Amino acid sequence: MIRAIFYSKFDTQEGPKVVHQVPDGAIVPSSTAPAQPLFLTFSDVSFFVIPRQELCGNLLQVCTNGYRILGYPICMKSDRYARNEFIFNFCIVLTEEEDFSQYKSVVQKLADLMHALEEQNGFLSRDFSKSGEGKVYSLCEMLMEDLNNYCECMIPIDELNTLNIKLFPIYPSPPPVKAWQVPLFTVRYQAFMDENWDLSLQRIVPYINGVNSVRIISILADTDFSLTCRAIRHLLYYGCLFLLDIFSFSAIYAPTAQFSSAIGSDEAMQLECARYVNTRFAPHPPIGPQSPLPSQIAPAAAASSAGSPGGAGPLSSPLTDAAPSLSRDDSRFDAEEIWPLMGDLEDAPNGSRKVAETPENDTVPAGQGPRVVDGVGIVELYAGLKQGQSVKQWYAQHSRALANIDIRRFITFGVIKGFLYRVHKYACATGQPAPAPRSSSVVPVNLSTGPSSRTTTGNNTPYAASSVGDDAPISARRDASRERAASFHSGSRGGTGSGSAPSGLYGDEENEIDDRTLSKYLDGTHSFDQICTELEISERELTVRLKRYPGRY
């Protein structure tokens, strides 16, 4: 908030001088102002308000007495001025701690405008009105009032000039967008898009759905890839988008340290989650990749979106839950219907109720518990995600609870809210020279991803089934990695990458990727998502391909 605005000039008789000030008596004592302490001592800062010529034309600021003064001194030379020059400065006073970034441009713009006005008709130099009166004064007054109250102003000055200023918050610039990232709208773009938008932006926008990776978007929209990236980055800057990773059932997610403060303790967030993931509310079937995502998930500002549990059940289907739950009396909220129903018990068995692992899974003893996944149930489901366990495995253990939950949305929700992270996989070719090319290491890292949509559905069954000895040092990380590591060991026997592909399905494609290309990705800095996206193969193909990666590198 602007505390004061003052206009100062170099007076040939008096030296640096404050001509107008808003509020009155803020900078220099004024007979008309009520007695009040000055904000600061003008003489302390006059060296800077009216600086030496060399400094004119620069944005200057100085802090004193708890205030920060921003100014942009201008020095004009002309023989119509006494001493042939006219130095003036319009300064904005803020408190010292206040973020001043957005006011920099205000000061600059004001200076530019005044410079122009002065040039046109001596707007300033001919202003002989008393302090606190006249055009220049009322300009300062309106400016301060409007900016403080409305963050913008439009002040007509004469028939030609208007002072238009708007305060723009400054955001950090987003990093470059990667091909394997998946953008997701946080707002309804339809609401504010118009035909004046950038053309590539307009083309891209319909394909942004939280499923398509940037690369896929650029293909689908038939736009240049780099333009696509830039357009997305633009949306990112304004907080219209999130970047996610490519969802796949073979991916691994695990909780972050925000878990406790987010979903763990925030009941509103649990409700929000339920509303978002409950397939009952989904416009499309469960894992429908095309489902446009409701905009309710506001960025970090969970507060705004989480607010309305009452009106939550707009879609509440008439056939609420048929499942016999605890006696329901009439005082029941419709909020009740938010919680996803559990699946039928028959669905559950699946043999996968691993006894040793996480026995708390089916939290409620069958039969008597409520048949919905309530807030705590959601927390437990999220807590069940962990390193070394793919979504698929997790799903197998919780299939009953997840029966009416859109898995992709469930995961996405956690990632967006920041309490889940994607565990990335990296391959690292070791064994420098020939003989012993060793394992590839698999290292999880956060970030996002995005290979082709092929991996989107749970078609990875083949290798999920494969398992190797549990005691292998590579442990259960993930079946894929285990395989790969194993294959490296075996691969060390010979550098023959051309051997018949173990999996006939993708054999041909793989052969096109030669070892040199592949080796570039095997230094541990490229995530599987990246490799897959850039080489345009599925993760499964990559895994198979890696097995045959020779030990040469």
Restricting to residues 332-351, which ones interact with other proteins according to CB under 8 A? 332-333, 335-336, 339
3-state helix, strand, coil in the chain (%, to 5): 35, 15, 50
Angle value at C-alpha 259, between 253 and 263, nearest 5 degrees: 105
> Which residue in the block uniquely carries the two structure tokens 């100085």?
62
Among 550, 438, 429, 431, which residue's Cα sits nearest to residue 494? Answer: 550
C-alpha dihedral sign at 75, 76, 79, 80: negative
Considering the complex, what minimum distance in angstroms separates the CB of residue 211 from other proteins?
16
Q: Which of residues 493-532 bind other proteins (CB under 8 A)?
A: 523-525
Residue among 196, 331, 496, 500 that touches other proteins (CB under 8 A)? 331
What one-letter code names the amino acid at 452?
S
Q: Which is nearer to other proteins, 24 or 272 (CB)?
A: 272
Residue among 329, 351, 504, 516 that touches other proteins (CB under 8 A)? 329
Residue among 14, 54, 195, 508 that touches other proteins (CB under 8 A)? 54
Window contacting other proteins (CB under 8 A); options: 97-105, 126-134, 290-298, 491-499: 97-105
Q: Which is nearer to other proteins, 62 or 219 (CB)?
A: 62
Q: Which is nearer to other proteins, 19 or 429 (CB)?
A: 429
> Which residue in the block uniquely carries the two structure tokens 């305060």?
167
Considering the complex, what minimum distance in angstroms separates the CB of residue 397 from other proteins?
13
Considering the complex, what minimum distance in angstroms separates the CB of residue 323 from other proteins?
13
Q: Which of residues 104-163 bind other proteins (CB under 8 A)?
A: 108, 115
Angle value at C-alpha 390, between 485 and 422, nearest 5 degrees: 95
Residue among 220, 396, 476, 505 that touches other proteins (CB under 8 A)? 476
Q: Which of residues 184-223 bind other proteins (CB under 8 A)?
A: none
Residue among 12, 15, 59, 160 that touches other proteins (CB under 8 A)? 59
Q: What's the maximum distance between 2 C-alpha atoms anywhere in the chain? A: 96
Q: Are 515 and 552 in contact (CB under 8 A)?
A: yes
The tokens for 405 are 């939950």
Angle value at C-alpha 540, between 453 and 512, nearest 5 degrees: 95
Determine if residue 210 is left, alpha or beta; phi over 0 gives left, psi from -120 to 50 gives alpha, anything else beta.
left
Residue among 131, 209, 389, 399 that touches other proteins (CB under 8 A)? 389
Window contacting other proteins (CB under 8 A); options: 165-173, 206-214, 492-500, 509-517: 165-173
Considering the complex, what minimum distance in angstroms separates the CB of residue 374 from other proteins?
4
Considering the complex, what minimum distance in angstroms separates the CB of residue 258 from other proteins?
7
Angle value at C-alpha 37, between 36 and 41, nearest 5 degrees: 140
Q: Which is nearer to other proteins, 137 or 280 (CB)?
A: 280
Residue among 9, 203, 215, 233 that touches other proteins (CB under 8 A)? 233
Cα distances (angstroms) measured from residue 269 to each of 243, 301, 375, 548: 20, 11, 9, 46
Considering the complex, what minimum distance in angstroms separates the CB of residue 507 from other proteins?
26
Q: What is the DSSP string of 432-449?
A: -SSS-----------S--
The Cα 372–Cα 374 span in angstroms is 6
Considering the complex, what minimum distance in angstroms separates the CB of residue 26 from other proteins?
18
Q: What is the DSSP string of 226-240?
A: HHHHHHHHHHHHTT-
Q: Which of residues 60-79 bind other proteins (CB under 8 A)?
A: 60-65, 68, 74-77
Residue among 7, 39, 48, 137 that touches other proteins (CB under 8 A)? 48
Considering the complex, what minimum distance in angstroms separates the CB of residue 318 from other proteins?
20
The Cα 183–Cα 145 span in angstroms is 40
Angle value at C-alpha 249, between 499 and 288, nearest 5 degrees: 120
Among 119, 116, 32, 27, which residue's Cα sits nearest to residue 65? Answer: 27
Considering the complex, what minimum distance in angstroms separates the CB of residue 360 from other proteins?
5
Window contacting other proteins (CB under 8 A); options: 11-19, 23-31, 227-235, 316-324: 227-235
Q: Which of residues 419-458 bind other proteins (CB under 8 A)?
A: 421, 423-424, 426, 428, 430, 438-448
The Cα 422–Cα 245 span in angstroms is 7
For residue 182, the cross-strand partners are 244
Q: Which of residues 262-321 bind other proteins (CB under 8 A)?
A: 264-265, 267
Give 523's contacts (C-beta < 8 A, 6+ positions apart). Answer: 428, 429
Q: Are 186 and 240 in contact (CB under 8 A)?
A: yes
- 347-376 mask for other proteins (x: CB under 8 A)? --------xxxxxx--xxx--xxx-x-xxx
Question: How many chain residues touch other proteins (CB under 8 A)?
Answer: 121
Q: Which is nearer to other proteins, 229 or 287 (CB)?
A: 229
**R_g of the chain computed on alpha carbons:** 32
Q: Which is nearer to other proteins, 7 or 394 (CB)?
A: 394
For residue 138, the cross-strand partners are none
Q: How many CB atoms lie within 10 A of CB 146?
A: 16
Q: Which is nearer to other proteins, 66 or 494 (CB)?
A: 66
Window contacting other proteins (CB under 8 A); options: 133-141, 233-241, 276-284, 499-507: 233-241
Q: Are 88 and 49 in contact (CB under 8 A)?
A: no
Considering the complex, what minimum distance in angstroms separates the CB of residue 134 from other proteins?
25
Residue among 200, 202, 320, 325 that touches other proteins (CB under 8 A)? 325
Chain centroid to Cα 131, Å, comes to 49
Residue among 154, 257, 301, 315 that touches other proteins (CB under 8 A)? 257
Q: Which is nearer to other proteins, 134 or 418 (CB)?
A: 418
Residue among 386, 453, 506, 536 that touches other proteins (CB under 8 A)? 386
Q: Which is nearer to other proteins, 522 or 535 (CB)?
A: 522
Residue among 8, 21, 181, 455 that touches other proteins (CB under 8 A)? 181
Q: Which helix H or strand E contains 171, and what residues bound it?
A: none
Window contacting other proteins (CB under 8 A); options: 15-23, 166-174, 314-322, 544-552: 166-174
> Which residue in the block uniquely carries the two structure tokens 């991996």?
455
